[in-house]
Chain A
Amino acid sequence: GNSVTQMEGPVTLSEEAFLTINCTYTATGYPSLFWYVQYPGEGLQLLLKATKADDKGSNKGFEATYRKETTSFHLEKGSVQVSDSAVYFCALNPDSNYQLIWGAGTKLIIKP
């Protein structure tokens, strides 16, 4: 079946550190991949997405590359800020399906 596995949190970093949050998936066909972010007290927001292999999604300094050979979609940022503190969710939309399959989320804490 379809599934998403994220690294467990919380991930705690100092400001300006390099961030990687791992995401791997299991899916048949050619899914679209997403990263959503949930800031404290707010709803989920789409951060970035990629719809085919080798696509790179990017937004707000975050990047993720759709790697079909390793079934991964790791989230990276070169220099994090305190305002990046949030919960990050990896999700996939299976080919010819309409549901989003979600990871459990990774809480990110950035210390000044």
Chain B
Amino acid sequence: EAGVAQSPRYKIIEKRQSVAFWCNPISGHATLYWYQQILGQGPKLLIQFQNNGVVDDSQLPKDRFSAERLKGVDSTLKIQPAKLEDSAVYLCASSSDRGTTEQYFGPGTRLTVT
């Protein structure tokens, strides 16, 4: 079974530029999560999708971050414009249920904003 795929693995941009991350969850997993992990901290949930609907985006900075999950499969997270404090690893995870079972994580995208 293929795992959660993410791309790119690394990205370096200047502040005020835009960036997009892509995630393809495990086949058949209805729930998809985007997390932000700042160095030395635990993951922080940004947004959760159930199929192609948003379940929770309460911690997503909506003035600059956006995410979509068209057709309920893969997902894109965008930052526009980026700030220095957005430097982090962006993790995508999926699960077959709404969080009561295991979440499977991708390798993450390390973003550096200069």
Contact = CB atoms under 8 A, between A and B. Distances in A.
B47 to A, nearest CB: 11
A32 B40 contact: no
Contacts of A97: 99
A112 interface: no
Interface of B is mostly: loop
A72 to B, nearest CB: 17
Contact of B42 (A41, A93, A102): A102
A28 interface: no
Contacts of B98: 98
- Counting chain A CB atoms within 10 Å of each CB, which of B41, B43, B102, B106 scores highest? B43
Nearest to B107: A43
Interface string B24-45: 0000000100000000111111
Interface string B52-85: 0001100000000000000000000000000000
A43 B40 contact: no
A49 B102 contact: yes
Given A49-B102, A93-B99, A98-B99, 11 more contacts: A4-B42, A43-B4, A43-B91, A44-B43, A44-B103, A89-B43, A98-B48, A98-B100, A100-B45, A102-B44, A104-B41
Interface residues of A, number: 20
Contacts of B42: 4, 89, 91, 102-105
A42 interface: yes
A104 B107 CA distance: 18
